[in-house]
Amino acid sequence: MTNPTALPGPSVHVMTLATAPLPDAEMARALAQQKNALTVDCLIDSTGLPAPVRIPRPESVHVMVADIDDLGEWLRELGGEVHVSPQFEGVELWTLHASTEPREDGSSTRVLVSVPVPSGELVMDWIRAAVKR
């Protein structure tokens, strides 16, 4: 018996079920997430913006960058305002709130670019000027 399908005994039948289609609300969220991801990926490809981590969501795309200079590149490209979290464990989270250029349908993608910054770190004045007061 060298053929494993020739084993004695009853065969096990496997039944596969068709996958159920997504409900309309879930489908809309999935499509919005894909649209946001594509929009930000195209922006990154055309500008060379640093984006080691991208997390698309239906309502926005989160981008995590390595240092404050990378956040500055995004600020220069998109504008927007920077929010700084309260200090925790000696670190603040700096997050740029911005949006892409409007698409043909008038919608745009909200982009949140975040970087951890050690408390008291020197930050360029033009980036600090974008901090929401």
C-alpha span between 97 and 80 (Å, rounded):
6
How many other CB atoms sit within 10 Å of the CB of residue 100? 18
Q: What is the pLDDT of residue 133?
A: 78
Provide the whole-model pTM. Answer: 0.80
In the numeric block, the tokens 């930050």 are attached to: 123
C-beta of residue 66 within 8 angstroms of C-beta of residue 50 = yes
Write out the E strands in 19-103: 53-56, 61-64, 81-84, 91-99
Which tens digits make up the pLDDT trace of 2-39?
A: 555 555 556 556 666 667 666 788 889 999 999 999 99
Angstrom distance (rounded) from CA 73 to CA 85? 20
pLDDT band at 112 (very low <50, low <70, confident <90, very high): very high
Residue 24: predicted pLDDT: 84
Distance CA(29)–CA(130), nearest Å, equals: 31
pLDDT tens sequence across 72-106: 999 999 999 999 999 999 999 999 999 999 988 89
